[in-house]
Amino acid sequence: MSEKLTIAQLSPGDSAKIVGFSGPTELQSRLVEMGFLPGVLIRLINQSAFGGPFQLKIRDYYVSLRKIDTENIIVEKLI
Amino acid sequence: MMNSNLQSHSKIFKIALLGNPNSGKTAIFNLLTKLRHKVSNYPGVTVEQKMGIVKLNNGRLAELLDLPGTYSLTPESLDEKIVAEEVTKWVHGIHRPDAIISVVDASNLSRNLYLTTQLTDLGIPVVMALNMMDLVKSGTVDHHQLSEKLGIHAAIPMSAKEKWGVNHLLDGLWKVLESPPPDCSFMIPLNIPAIVSTTLEPLTSIFKENFQYSPRLAVAQALRVITRNSALELYRKIIQTLPGLDDNLFEKLIDTRGEIIGQIESLNYSHRILEATLRYAMIDDMVKSIQPDNEKILKQVTRSEKADRILTHKWLGPAIFISIMYIIFHSVFTLATIPMDWIDESIHKIGDIILRTMGPGMLRDLLVDGVFGGVGAILVFLPQILILVFFLSMLEDSGYMARVAFLLDRFMTKVGLHGRSALPLISGYACAIPGIMASRTIDSWKERLITILILPLMSCSARLPVYSLLIGAFIPAKLLFGFISLQGFTLVTMYILGTVVAFILAWIFSKFIPIQGKSSFVMEMPPYRIPIMGSVFHQVFTRAKLFLKNAGQIILAISIVLWFIASFPSSPNSVNGNHVEDSYAGKIGKIIEPVIKPLGFDWKIGIGLVTSFAAREVMVSTLATLYSVDNGENSIVHLSSSLVKDINIHTGKQRYDVLFALSLMVFYVFAAQCMATFAIVKVETNSWKWPIFMICYMSMLAYGASFLVYQGGRLLGF
Q: CA-based angle B291:B293:B296, to the nearest 5? A: 120
pLDDT tens for each residue of A4-56: 899 999 999 999 999 999 988 888 999 999 999 999 999 999 999 889 999 99
φ, ψ of residue B171 to 5 degrees: the values are -60, -50
If one compares B385 and B156, the residue with the highest pLDDT of the two is B156
Strands B50-55 and B61-66, bridge-based pairing? antiparallel
Q: How far is A5 from chain B (nearest CA, A)?
A: 19
Check B298 against A69: CB less than 8 A apart.
Answer: no
CATH topology of domain A4-77: SH3 type barrels. (2.30.30)
Q: Are B583 and B569 in contact (CB under 8 A)?
A: yes
**Cβ distance of B520 and A53 shorter than 8 Å:** no
Average pLDDT of chain B, as a whole number: 87
What does the DSSP 8-state code read for residue B183? P
Exposure string of B568-580, with b = 16+ CB inside 10 Å and e = fewer, is: eeeeeeeeeeebb
Contact between A34 and B305 using a beta-carbon 8 Å cutoff: no
Q: What is the enclosing helix (H) or strand (E) of B491?
A: helix B486-512
Confidence (pLDDT) at B1: 35
B273 → closest Cβ in A28, A41, A46: A28
Residue of B nearest to A54 (CA): B406
- For B301, which residue in chain A has the nearest alpha carbon? A57
Q: What value does the mean pLDDT take over residues B405-434?
A: 92
Laid out side by side, the sheet with B61-66 consists of B50-55, B61-66, B13-19, B99-105, B126-131, B154-157
- Give the nearest partner residue to A30 out of B295, B304, B522, using CB atoms: B522
pLDDT band for position B3 (cuts 50, 70, 90)? very low
Q: What's the pTM?
A: 0.87
* Chain A nearest-CA residue for B112: A34
Instruction: Spell out the residues 6+ positions from residue B395 whose beta carbon is closer than 8 angstroms to its own.
Output: B324, B401, B426
Least CB–CB distance from B524: residue in A47, A61, A66: A61
Mean pLDDT of B622-641: 79
CA–CA separation, A47 and A70 (whole Å): 11
Closest alpha carbon within chain B to A66: B521
What average pLDDT does this structure show over B322-339? 85
Q: Count other C-beta atoms under 10 Å from residue B186's C-beta.
A: 8
Q: What is the pLDDT of residue B39?
A: 54
pLDDT score recorded for residue B7: 44
Mean pLDDT of B237-261: 88
| Contact yes or no for B668/B466 (Cβ under 8 A) | yes
Most confident range (mean pLDDT) of A22-26, A66-70, B644-648 is A66-70
Residue B403 has pLDDT above 80, yes or no: yes
> Binning pLDDT at 50, 70 and 90, where does residue B574 land?
very low
| DSSP, residue by residue, chain A | -PPEEEGGGSPTT-EEEEEEE-S-STTHHHHHHTT--TT-EEEEEEE-TTT--EEEEETTEEEEE-HHHHTTEEEEE--
Give me the pLDDT at residue B46, please.
53
Task: Read off the pLDDT of each residue in B643-670 and give the average, rounded to a whole number.
Answer: 89
Of chain B, the percentage scoring pLDDT greater than 70 comes to 94
Best B310, B520, B529 member to test A by mutation, with max A CBs in 10 Å, is: B520
Read off the pLDDT of residues B98-107 as tens digits, 9 standing for 90 and up. Answer: 999 999 999 8
Percent of the residues in chain B that have a pLDDT greater than 90, as a whole number: 47
Domain boundaries, chain A: 4-77
Q: Please name the residue of chain A whose CA is at the shortest distance from the CA of residue B316.
A: A49
Q: What domains can be seen in chain B, in order of their start residue? A: 10-178 (3.40.50.300), 194-299 (no CATH), 548-715 (no CATH)
The answer, yes or no, to whether residue B573 has pLDDT greater than 60, is no
Do residues B204 and B190 make contact, with C-beta atoms less than 8 angstroms apart?
no
pLDDT at B571: 57
Question: What's the pLDDT score for residue B628?
Answer: 83
3-class SS at B205? helix
How close is the nearest chain A Cα to the Cα of B99, in Å?
24
Q: State how far the alpha carbon of B473 is from the alpha carbons of B268, B274, B343, B660, in Å.
A: 73, 66, 18, 11
Q: Which residues of A touch B294 (CB under 8 A)?
A: 40-41, 59
Give chain B positions within 8 Å (CB) of A33. 71-72, 74, 114, 276
The 10s digit of each residue's pLDDT in B115-130 is: 999 999 999 999 999 9
Interior angle at CA B599, CA B593 and CA B604, nearest 5: 40
ipTM, two decimals: 0.96
